[in-house]
Chain A
């Protein structure tokens, strides 16, 4: 069952289309990454599906439209920066969230322990560091045990240790079978956390699917030979029909092989032509390379 179904969503700010006829489906249990450069429309999309901003046209449906009027109480969301009452402490702020979600005002011990804020629970929000604010926001998202978590740039502005902590928490939540919708411009983050991804640019969806399907199956191969053989090697691979996207990077040649061809065939080809390769590395393309390729257009 789709947890979220977005159809033809458009948000116009004057002549600028922050979202442009965007479609998206997120299934239950997916850790879905929204990937796009800054200003691509990720936050606008999340703000629209959370009813914070009004889309100009298009529709979205949560839980197949079967969740009733209080559908958003089944969703925990962190949008942009964490927003809480600065003069209230962690317990008081969480108590307001629990009130909104209409869940019992029990102790928040386990949540504060999960986000490592138990020791600072009595400090006012304004005294927190950015990492602590982000962690409190995660705790707030988890109140009422929501079915879906929406996290917009959850590691933004954090130091490496803070980033690792937040990622650990997200993975721990994902392991409980929750659906997570994560917007980020950090490719490494999406690749490490997400099972599915949609790439957005200028408010349009350029690609979407399982992370594995977005990544090309075709490996990139890097080779080199002795300096004296390099010209001969270059001519050889240039003439080979199953090699494409050939590039010379200093003393190395990088290329992609057509489907059905393996890197060892390249070694064999060189050997048969009297060239001994002294370097052969096969690399799977990273999401970063795919992202740059997809968004280049």
Chain B
């Protein structure tokens, strides 16, 4: 079947769903609200140093760090709301037995897997579009704005890969667990604290290695790192083990995880009983 037809089927399935609509609106609202608050708080920060008043975060609101900051803020809505949407869309199909029904009606298992990957891809594009719209609005409207600008390609691509990655991670979790509540809890716990806690325990008690930053959540988060103000740059780079992943490292790790998630999704949808 034509990929566009598969995508159109996914749209027919989910667009009328109330939870789907609410989460999509919440994504836009939460993203815009946090960006607004960041601008509000960041703009009003002032430190007095030897009688001279300065804003230590001022350069975060200038190009290109303004886009990096926006992508970093977006990474939290991607990890929570977008990932949850991936879990929800998949477990909804399990609880209504509609995955199985689609096969019964004639969809091949390959088409079923493809339609889920395409849905994640379309939602990741939608998220990236929201990132662009909010970013351009904020560069135009913000008091600290350097004026209209487009995001650097690394930011745009990183944001897209991250959104795609969290959606696939959510879908994969749902395919492995199948129950809505349990899958949602597992997914959110993993991206919000489980991996972070494990990483710190390992870091503090076993080995101080940068390899821990290659774990799935860290690698995806590294695609849109927190831009570091000039004032804090020295502090961060003094410890090699704390050095964030480079753009190339995080990009390659993310591509590897995306391939792995797609492979697991394909395996679960094509090789197991539905």
- Mark A residues whose CB is within 8 Å of B: 47, 50-54, 69-70, 72-73, 75, 77, 79, 81, 83-88, 92, 95-97, 99-102, 140
Contact = CB atoms under 8 A, between A and B. Distances in A.
Contacts of B273: 47, 52-54
B16 A99 contact: no
B199 interface: no
Contacts of B272: 54
A52 B274 contact: yes
A39 to B, nearest CB: 17
B106 interface: yes
Interface residues of B, number: 26
Interface string B5-24: 10011001100111000000
A47 B99 CA distance: 13
A97 B103 CA distance: 10
29 contacts: A50-B103, A51-B108, A52-B100, A52-B103, A52-B273, A53-B274, A69-B108, A70-B108, A72-B103, A72-B104, A72-B108, A79-B104, A83-B98, A84-B96, A85-B13, A85-B17, A87-B17, A87-B18, A92-B16, A95-B12, A96-B9, A96-B12, A96-B13, A97-B105, A100-B102, A100-B107, A101-B106, A102-B5, A140-B105
B106 A70 contact: yes
A95 B9 CA distance: 9
Nearest to A11: B273
Contact of B105 (A69, A87, A100): A100
Contact of B106 (A47, A73, A81, A95): A73
Nearest to A124: B16
A283 B154 CA distance: 84
A83 B16 contact: no
A157 to B, nearest CB: 16
A87 B109 CA distance: 24
A102 B103 CA distance: 13
A9 to B, nearest CB: 14
A100 B9 contact: yes
Contacts of A85: 13, 17, 96, 98
Contacts of A101: 105-106
Given A54-B273, A72-B106, A140-B105, A83 B100 contact: yes
A285 B126 CA distance: 67
Given A83-B96, A96-B13, A77 B271 contact: no
Interface string B142-177: 000000000000000000000000000000000000
A164 to B, nearest CB: 26
B271 A54 contact: yes
A144 to B, nearest CB: 8
Interface in B53-71: none
B61 to A, nearest CB: 43
B104 A99 contact: no
Contacts of A100: 9, 102, 105-107
Given A83-B101, A100-B106, 12 more contacts: A51-B108, A52-B100, A52-B274, A53-B273, A53-B274, A69-B108, A72-B108, A75-B106, A79-B104, A96-B13, A99-B9, A100-B102
A53 B8 CA distance: 26
B93 to A, nearest CB: 9
B98 A52 contact: no
B210 interface: no
Given A53-B274, A72-B106, A75-B106, A84 B101 contact: yes
A51 B104 CA distance: 8
Contacts of B103: 50-52, 72
Residue among B98, B271, B272 having the largest count of chain A Cβ atoms under 10 Å = B98
Residue among A54, A81, A96 having the largest count of chain B Cβ atoms under 10 Å = A96
B208 interface: no
Given A95-B12, A96-B9, A77 B98 contact: no
B1 interface: yes
